[in-house]
Amino acid sequence: MSYFLILIEKHLAEKVDIIAYCLMNNHFHLIVKLIEDGTVVSQAFSNLFNAYAKAFNKQQNRTGSLFEKHFKRKKILDETYLKNSIIYVHSNPVNHKVVKSLKDYSFSSYNYYFSNENNKSILSRSEILRLFDSIDNFDMVHKQKSDLDLDLQGRGLDLQGFENLAGNQTKEQNDNPNFKDKFYQYIQTLQDTITSNLETVDGKATFREDIWERPEGGGGRTRVIENGHVFEKGGVNISGVHGKLPKSMQAYFNVGDVDFFACGLSLVLHPKNPMVPTVHANWRYFEMYNADGKIVDSWFGGGQDLTPYYLFEEDAIHFHKTCKTACDKHNPDFYKTYKTKCDEYFWNAHRNEARGVGGLFFDYCKATKTMTMENWYNFVTEIGNSFLECYIPIVEKRKDLPYSKEQRDWQEIRRGRYVEFNLVHDKGTLFGLKTNGRIESILMSLPPHVQWVYDHQPEAGSEEEKLLDVLKKPVDWV
């Protein structure tokens, strides 16, 4: 636990003021006041948890996720609620019968406020004095917790919403949702889920992690897998970037000099076996602000699509059916609409063929009379959560099929068409290049081995020609 406190100071100092904490054997609580932007703080917490998990796993000679449940947080707007939350956090060791007195527990901020050796780089003593007037009153109020509980109930506030952050249903205070922070936290969790599952499927390679910062604002977390049993190369990246919208993008969006924020998860997986299709997915959120910092426009976007080298019709049907099931939970027209947009978007115009067998593509999903931003958030996260079910069963079915050198050559020739689309047509690649994005992360989508063979034509009646025939005209797979 002492090491966890050291990591808290390393990763959270100057980004938050820590008002209270309590570290227990199987969970912890932190109450913080944000100094930096919420996205910066989310990334700092992610770095903290990753650093601790790596150190713990190394010490215990173990692998995998350390935390059973995902990190959750709650925005506190009421000062009385904040006071009671601080008392609840400090009371954890007594409530769980670890100690009889608050002062008997070492890994809580409670004792720090009575010590002359208070570590000011970790705790915000001034905030406690402002809330409780003095340390004596701070101590007295902790002993009179029941009085505060009655006061909260009389004002219609409920500490249960704070107590159940570990995962149970809670009674939340109503405030305007911050989709920027909410969605960034979602993609952090989704990245963990996807990479963990892909490592299990591969059975050999693991993801290498690279945390980076963008000089103009923001940063991200790149995870790359290479030379595995299944995946020759792949990446699952998240980023949250902000700053002045570049002139080139101002013209694209038809706006003036504005600030922007963009975050998203983007992934591409290039399997070794040509019988396993390449897959791409992206889920993103964008905001633009006026001179006063108010949001003037915001939208969600994303999608997922499949690029086979050899056509197994049942795989395409499975992928599309799973996409449709996710869409139908929100609107029965969504699948047809976004399937069509996917066919249109992933069209290699200079080759007059599709990049693959499609999937879903949606963009500029803004609030309307029928779809609030909360509705769009729920839809986009539904699609994100469906990804593993879309793809993993196909990989499991095809990854051990035999293949020849000629089939591998065909895979590399088709990969060339994939590269052409990404560098010529893809909006995400172009946006990253025009906003001074991180080049390693942007070009992560490119496969490691590619061929361009002059005027290559497959044999008539071959499996290769069968694929090209399908790519010439979109197919209704469902």
pTM for the whole structure: 0.66
280 has catalytic annotation: yes
Closest CA to 18 of 37, 41, 49: 41
Model pLDDT, residue 123: 79
Q: Are residues 294 and 383 in the same domain?
A: yes
Model pLDDT, residue 214: 83
Which of 166, 196, 220 represents a domain boundary (last residue)?
166
Q: Are residues 277 and 156 in the same domain?
A: no
Enter the DSSP assignment of 164. G
What CATH number is attached to the domain comprising 92?
Answer: 3.30.70.1290
Q: Are residues 16 and 141 in the same domain?
A: yes
Angle between helices 373-398 and 179-202 in degrees, nearest 10: 10
Domain hosting residue 52, numbered range:
2-166
What CATH number is attached to the domain comprising 461?
Answer: 3.40.1500.10
Q: Are residues 158 and 195 in the same domain?
A: no
Which of 145, 166, 187 represents a domain boundary (last residue)?
166
Model pLDDT, residue 70: 59
Domain presence at residue 267: yes
Model pLDDT, residue 153: 44
Q: How many domains does the chain have?
A: 2
Domain presence at residue 427: yes
Enter the DSSP assignment of 121. T
Q: Are residues 130 and 74 in the same domain?
A: yes
Q: Are residues 231 and 159 in the same domain?
A: no
DSSP of 306-354: EE-SS--HHHHHHHHHHHHHHHHTT-TTHHHHHHHHHHHHTEETTTTEE
Read off the tokens for 315: 């795989």
Q: Are residues 194 and 128 in the same domain?
A: no
Q: Are residues 45 and 113 in the same domain?
A: yes
Spell out where 24-161 has E strands. 28-34
Domain presence at residue 174: no
Q: Are residues 258 and 375 in the same domain?
A: yes
Q: Are residues 150 and 206 in the same domain?
A: no
3-state SS class at 400: coil
Domain presence at residue 172: no
Domain presence at residue 478: no
Domain presence at residue 345: yes
Q: Which of 90, 242, 280, 320 is catalytic?
A: 280
What sign for the dihedral angle of Cα 461, 467, 470, 473?
A: negative
353 phi and psi, to 5 degrees? -155, 160
Q: Are residues 144 and 215 in the same domain?
A: no
Domain presence at residue 476: no
Query: What are the pLDDT tens digits along the chain (478 aa)?
Result: 677 888 888 888 788 888 899 988 878 889 998 887 778 888 888 888 888 887 777 776 666 566 655 567 778 877 777 888 898 899 888 888 888 888 888 888 888 887 755 444 567 778 888 888 788 778 877 876 544 444 444 444 444 444 444 333 333 333 345 899 899 989 999 999 999 999 999 999 999 999 888 888 888 999 999 999 999 999 999 999 988 888 777 877 888 888 999 999 999 999 999 999 999 999 999 999 988 888 999 999 999 999 999 999 999 999 999 999 999 999 999 999 999 999 999 999 999 999 999 999 999 999 999 999 999 999 999 999 999 999 999 999 999 999 999 999 999 999 999 999 989 988 778 877 877 777 887 888 899 999 999 999 999 999 999 999 999 999 999 9
Domain presence at residue 315: yes
3-state SS class at 446: coil
Which of 166, 192, 225 represents a domain boundary (last residue)?
166
Q: Are residues 322 and 415 in the same domain?
A: yes
Closest CA to 261 of 240, 279, 246: 240
Read off the tokens for 415: 């990969």
Q: How many CB atoms lie within 10 A of CB 162?
A: 22
468 phi and psi, to 5 degrees? -60, -35
Beta bridge partners of 151: none
